[in-house]
Homo-oligomer: A and B are copies of this chain.
Amino acid sequence: MSLSTSTIKYIRSLHQKKFRQNYNKFIVEGDKLARECLQQQYFPIEGLFATESWLVAHGDTLRLAPEKIEEVGPAMLGRISQLSTPNEVLLVVEQRKYELRTGFPEGRQVLYLDKIADPGNFGTILRIADWFGMGPVLYSPDCVEPYNPKVVQASMGAIFRVPFVEMELDVLKEQYPDLYIAGTDMKGESIYAFQPPAAGVMVIGSEHHGIRETYRPLLDTVVSIPGDAAGGAESLNAAVATGIVCAFLHSRKERHM
């Protein structure tokens, strides 16, 4: 019923990126996300910490070794949790590192995230890629860490389904010189008229800085989301812009089929 001081200290250390990377673990919290995590096969679960009522409701369906399951009271859960509102269950889970080992995904449009620093946006983009079947998601090393708790929460479980690969865009281009690379920016061809090849990469820049200068020569084309010319809005949220671009790419694909 009670956790040792070292266990508490260990779990709490995982609130910080440094220790998540040292231990190669991350935290998954909340009933819905925990159940999605328990259903997947790719991320080994090190420990499950849950209230008595949660264990009564879900204990029978858990395919976890008993020694990995700890019942904790709400107060203890509050101590190890990263959430501001109470929850019933917390998992400590092993991180995965994906690579593009088997080559570039054939016949697919794939996203490349350039310095997406906001964790909510990164997680929401994983969710978008999940919705449109557009994984893997590639991302620059200076993006937010994908195991950041806010990324995990915003992904709504997509983090367990959509692979994410950290790599520089120029390294990708070196490995796949014929790859068609489009980018989103304020001044480009309208996404409404854009006819992409069957496979390629769509680079999403950060909300405030767009796509970095050093990546621009790698782009085969630039597309934009037309707005109201008379409007005062400077930009769209990065995840919203990504959703719009993905929907148009998906609509083209549906027409091809």
Chain A residues packing against B (C-beta within 8 Å): 120, 124, 127-128, 130-134, 154, 156-158, 161, 190-192, 225-228, 230-237, 239-244, 247-248, 250-251, 254-255
Contact = CB atoms under 8 A, between A and B. Distances in A.
B254 A133 contact: no
B247 A130 contact: no
Nearest to A135: B231
Contacts of A230: 133
Contacts of A133: 227-228, 230-231
Contacts of A247: 191-192, 225, 244, 247-248
Contact of A240 (B128, B231, B232): B128
Given A124-B237, A192-B255, A241-B243, 15 more contacts: A131-B225, A131-B231, A133-B230, A134-B228, A156-B233, A156-B235, A157-B233, A158-B232, A190-B254, A192-B247, A225-B247, A237-B239, A240-B240, A243-B244, A247-B248
B128 A251 contact: no
B192 A251 contact: yes
Given A243-B241, A244-B247, A236 B131 contact: yes
Contacts of A244: 243-244, 247
A242 B190 CA distance: 19
6 shortest A-B CB distances, which residue pairs? A133-B228, A240-B243, A130-B233, A192-B251, A131-B233, A244-B247
Contacts of A227: 131-133
Nearest to A128: B240
A208 to B, nearest CB: 10
21 contacts: A120-B120, A124-B240, A128-B237, A131-B228, A131-B235, A132-B227, A132-B228, A132-B231, A133-B230, A133-B231, A134-B228, A156-B235, A157-B234, A158-B233, A192-B251, A236-B243, A240-B243, A243-B243, A243-B244, A247-B247, A247-B248
